[in-house]
């Protein structure tokens, strides 16, 4: 006789002999039900691994994006300590944008060839380097370098993690229809992380000693945990057998999809231009114009704008893509108009409330832009197309903000802010209308 036991993984039956006798032991024939246990067990184990991978990548995505906005409420502290003007704040912020755009241009598409997990691990490692730089080199030059490295990590992550979440979710559920839910999750984690970082940074700066150290130490811990978790995430990309020649990311629309691609990219540009305002000069604007000096208030304002972006994607997820775009435009334009009027009338509640409403519109418009881009091509080219779209979007996070900083050197704050609002509103309306027509 023999006994049949399962191995520790519970997947492949293993035969172990009974105590030795004169004749060799022979296992009893397996029944039909026994024969299907192993394949079913393997499938269940694979789905569990991919389900774990989905949540691990989501946590890593959240941690990296949160770390990206931790300095937003701290800029006023650096500014008060070192006495630099608002333009310097925009330069520090712009270094982040340059890093994002540079990483997207040079490497944002490489996960289609080299795999999702390696690029996510490199991204987290870069964020850890940036956190250490903030701790040990926190004068203006150090801030610029740290923000540049932060941007490099975010640029590597955004398209890669977005694609990876969709692939992991489909394999975890066994249904291609679950990709839509993964798209909502990716957008919520992206913008939700940005909102969380600003709130955490502001809260720690206000209530904990050493405000220019403790927030970064907290994120060193969080990012280290994320790195360890991602090590166990299954890969979803089959690497090519032959070596693929390297080329930078091209801003080239998929064949026959030029109109939809550029409408999505420019709409995302306009959406992130709003976010750029609230992660760079808005905290300083609150302090100089509205005399709001509370660090938590500055962080909470940025949190409110980004949180509204994340929540709107979840609340209105069941709407059609066209309806989401149209509602997003109404909220974005309406919110910015309220913000502009409040700035003229010096009404801080209206300024913050308008920003939150505009943030809700940003979430819908940005999600629709990314979803539309992802739908233009098959999985084998999705990382590259998403990287190109994020490249355009993050230019919106950087270029307009630098222009604002330069304008503030020679012009008063209010006309610069109003001009910025007009620019974003016009761009969003033009691109969003075209995107809705193609949805």
> DSSP labels for 272-314?
HHHHHHHHTTHHHHHHHHS----HHHHHHHHHHHHHHHHHHHH
Q: What tens digit of pLDDT does each residue of 133-147 get?
A: 999 998 999 999 999
Q: What's the full length of the chain, in residues? A: 439
Question: At the topology level of CATH, where does 46-235+248-438 sit?
Answer: Growth Hormone; Chain: A; (1.20.1250)
305, 314, 321, 322: which is closest to 360 by C-alpha? 305
Q: How far apart are CA 261 and CA 375, in angstroms?
A: 10
Indicate if the pLDDT at residue 35 is higher than 90.
no
Indicate if the pLDDT at residue 27 is higher than 50.
no
Q: How far apart are CA 42 and CA 428, in angstroms?
A: 48
Q: What tens digit of pLDDT does each residue of 320-374 get?
A: 999 999 999 999 999 999 999 999 999 999 999 999 999 999 999 999 998 899 8
Q: Please tell me the predicted confidence (pLDDT) of residue 350.
A: 94
Residue 133 structure tokens: 């730089």
104, 85, 107, 84: which is closest to 96 by C-alpha? 104
- Is residue 221 classed exposed, middle or buried when 0-12, 13-18 and 19+ CB atoms within 10 A define those classes? exposed
Q: State mean pLDDT over 408-432.
A: 92
Query: Higher model confidence: residue 7 or residue 314?
Result: 314
Flag whether the pTM goes above 0.85. no
Q: Please tell me the predicted confidence (pLDDT) of residue 15.
A: 35
């Amino acid at each position: 006789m023999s006994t049949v036991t399962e191995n520790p993984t519970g997947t492949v039956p293993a035969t172990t002999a009974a105590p030795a006798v004169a004749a060799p032991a022979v296992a009893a024939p397996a029944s039909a039900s026994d024969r299907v246990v192993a394949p079913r067990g393997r499938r269940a184990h694979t789905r569990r691994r991919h389900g774990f991978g989905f949540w691990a990548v989501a946590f890593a995505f959240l941690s990296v994006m949160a770390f990206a906005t931790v300095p937003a409420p701290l800029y006023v502290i650096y500014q008060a300590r070192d006495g630099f003007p608002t333009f310097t704040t925009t330069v520090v912020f712009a270094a982040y944008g340059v890093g994002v755009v540079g990483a997207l241009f040079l490497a944002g598409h490489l996960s289609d060839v080299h795999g999702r997990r390696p690029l996510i691990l490199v991204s987290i490692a870069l964020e850890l380097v940036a956190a250490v730089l903030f701790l040990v080199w926190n004068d203006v030059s150090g801030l610029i370098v740290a923000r540049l490295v932060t941007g490099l990590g975010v640029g590597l992550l955004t398209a890669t993690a977005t694609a990876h979440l969709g692939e992991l979710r489909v394999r975890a559920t066994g249904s291609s229809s679950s990709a839509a839910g993964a798209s909502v999750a990716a957008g919520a984690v992206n913008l939700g992380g940005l909102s969380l970082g600003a709130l955490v940074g502001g809260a720690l700066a206000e209530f904990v000693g050493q405000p220019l150290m403790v927030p970064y130490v907290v994120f060193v811990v969080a990012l280290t945990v994320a790195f360890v978790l991602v090590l166990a995430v299954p890969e979803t990309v089959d690497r090519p057998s032959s070596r693929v020649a390297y080329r930078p990311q091209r801003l080239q629309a998929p064949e026959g999809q030029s109109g939809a691609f550029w409408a999505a990219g420019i709409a995302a540009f306009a959406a992130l231009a709003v976010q750029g305002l609230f992660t760079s000069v808005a905290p300083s604007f609150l302090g100089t114009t509205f005399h709001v000096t509370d660090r938590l208030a500055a962080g909470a304002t940025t949190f409110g704008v980004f949180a509204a972006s994340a929540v709107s994607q979840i609340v209105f997820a069941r709407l059609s893509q066209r309806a989401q775009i149209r509602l997003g435009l109404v909220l974005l334009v309406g919110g910015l108009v309220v913000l502009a009027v409040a700035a003229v009338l010096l009404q801080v509640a209206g300024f913050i409330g308008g920003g939150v409403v505009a943030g809700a519109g940003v979430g819908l418009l940005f999600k629709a832009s990314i979803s539309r881009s992802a739908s233009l091509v098959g999985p084998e080219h999705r990382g590259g197309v998403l990287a190109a779209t994020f490249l355009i979007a993050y230019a919106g996070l950087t270029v307009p903000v630098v222009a604002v900083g330069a304008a503030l050197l020679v012009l008063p704050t209010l006309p610069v802010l109003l001009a910025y609002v007009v620019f974003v509103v016009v761009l969003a309306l033009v691109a969003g209308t075209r995107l809705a027509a193609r949805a």
